[in-house]
């Protein structure tokens, strides 16, 4: 019997956050507001970097690309979530579910590598300031950005393809607001510990290695900052790196709970809340953290949108 004869599921039901209609409206309004703020804030950063020639430096080019990534990261899940808040069926097609699954993990992996590149950029700027202009050139910046996208989108292509070929005979109810690996594997008719083990091993390896790299970079940065004789210089360096560390801590703290730590007694509701933090809350905080704590970016935004 082949997969076409076994796989009878043509769509999945994403339960999301079940509750009374008034609660659905409140959640819809809150997530919609966050989504609009995320798009507006990140688009503002992209426009500021694009139109203000003073920001045509590797640091801000990386930030603009990171903002572009965040826009797509939230867009691959939030619009469908918003529709489901107002829908009675809350369904997503089989192909739509796996497309969302692929883009969600690929964009999340790309974000891990972007954070590494941004940490490397800050390490060069603070620890090797005299060599920084010669090392972090526009060409190197472009290569690193391209590698982040390439690795992110190629890494999970084969594992997710194999998962999509598994037989799904029903039930088709996913107690989540997006298509994630564990809920999907739980619905498969076939026992596939190898695929599941490979997927989780890849996720854990990517998360742990990128986190350790970022941590090591900032330990070196901290050591260099403490050696700066000027208190103003130390404060500026801490301010620049502090915003990055806030994003890193929030993002990695939540994804480690989901994909690195062993299964615990956390309920499905807690899993949804944790996923909501790193997939929806973190992207809306990035523009606030990077813009409001960065004088050059604030001036550029004021110049772009006020025309002076």
Beta bridge partners of 11: 93
Among 41, 31, 33, CA closest to 80: 31
Residue 233 pLDDT level (bands cut at 50, 70, 90): low
C-alpha span between 215 and 208 (Å, rounded): 10
| Size of the chain, expressed as the number of residues it contains | 308
49 pLDDT more than 60: yes
Containing domain of residue 64, as a range?
Answer: 8-306
Q: What is the largest CA-CA distance in the chain?
A: 73
- pLDDT, residue 231, reads 72
pLDDT tens by residue, 109-145: 999 999 999 999 989 988 898 999 999 998 999 999 9
Per residue, what are the HEC states of 9-24? CCEEEECCCCCCHHHH
Displacement of CA 87 from its chain's centroid (Å): 26
Residue 127 φ then ψ, to 5° = -85, -30
**pLDDT at residue 305 tops 80:** no
Query: Quick check: is 1 in a domain?
Result: no
Any domain includes 122: yes
Q: Which domain CATH number covers 254?
A: 1.20.1070.10
pTM value?
Answer: 0.90
Q: Which two tokens stand for residue 17?
A: 């956050």
Is the predicted pLDDT of residue 3 greater than 60, yes or no? Answer: no
Model confidence at 75: pLDDT above 70: yes
Which residue's structure tokens are 């990261």?
73
Q: Which of 75, 70, 100, 122 lies closest to 250, judged by CA?
A: 70
- Residue 42 and residue 76: Cα distance in Å, rounded? 15
**Contact (CB, 8 A) for 175 and 183:** yes
Does some domain include residue 280? yes
State residue 11 phi and psi, 5-degree precision: -155, 160
Residue 3 lies in a domain: no
pLDDT tens-digit readout, 176-219: 999 999 889 889 888 778 888 889 899 999 999 999 999 999 88
Tell me the per-residue pLDDT of 10-45, one tens digit each, with 9 for 90 and over. 899 999 999 899 999 999 999 999 999 999 989 988
Q: What is the pLDDT of residue 2?
A: 47
| Residue 121 near residue 136, CB atoms below 8 Å | yes
Domain count within the chain = 1
Sign of CA dihedral 128, 133, 134, 140: positive
């Amino acid at each position: 019997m082949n997969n076409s004869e076994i796989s009878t599921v043509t769509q999945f039901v994403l339960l999301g956050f079940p509750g009374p209609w008034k609660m659905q409206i409140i959640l819809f309004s809150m997530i919609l507001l966050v989504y609009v703020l995320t798009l507006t804030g990140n688009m503002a950063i992209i426009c500021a970097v694009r139109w203000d020639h003073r920001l045509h430096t590797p640091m801000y080019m990386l930030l603009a690309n990171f903002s572009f990534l965040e826009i797509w990261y939230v867009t691959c899940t939030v619009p469908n979530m918003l529709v489901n808040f107002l829908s009675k069926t809350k369904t997503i097609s089989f192909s739509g579910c796996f497309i969302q699954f692929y883009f969600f993990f690929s964009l999340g992996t790309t974000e891990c590598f972007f954070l590494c590149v941004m940490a490397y950029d800050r390490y060069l700027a603070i620890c090797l300031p005299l060599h920084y202009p010669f090392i972090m050139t526009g060409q190197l910046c472009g290569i690193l950005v391209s590698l982040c996208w390439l690795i992110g989108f190629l890494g999970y292509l084969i594992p997710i393809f194999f998962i999509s070929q598994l037989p799904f005979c029903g039930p088709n109810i996913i107690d989540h607001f997006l298509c994630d690996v564990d809920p999907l594997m739980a619905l498969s008719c076939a026992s596939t510990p190898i695929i599941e083990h490979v997927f989780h091993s890849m996720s854990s390896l990517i998360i742990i290695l990128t986190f350790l790299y970022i941590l090591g970079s900032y330990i070196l940065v901290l050591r260099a900052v403490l050696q700066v004789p000027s208190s103003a210089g130390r404060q500026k360096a801490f301010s620049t790196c502090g915003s990055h560390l806030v994003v890193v801590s929030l993002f990695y703290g939540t994804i480690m709970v989901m994909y690195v730590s062993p299964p615990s007694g956390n309920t499905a509701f807690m899993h949804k809340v944790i996923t909501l933090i790193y997939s929806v809350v973190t992207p809306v905080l990035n523009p606030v953290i990077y813009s409001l704590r960065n004088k050059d970016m604030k001036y550029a935004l004021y110049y772009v949108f006020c025309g002076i």
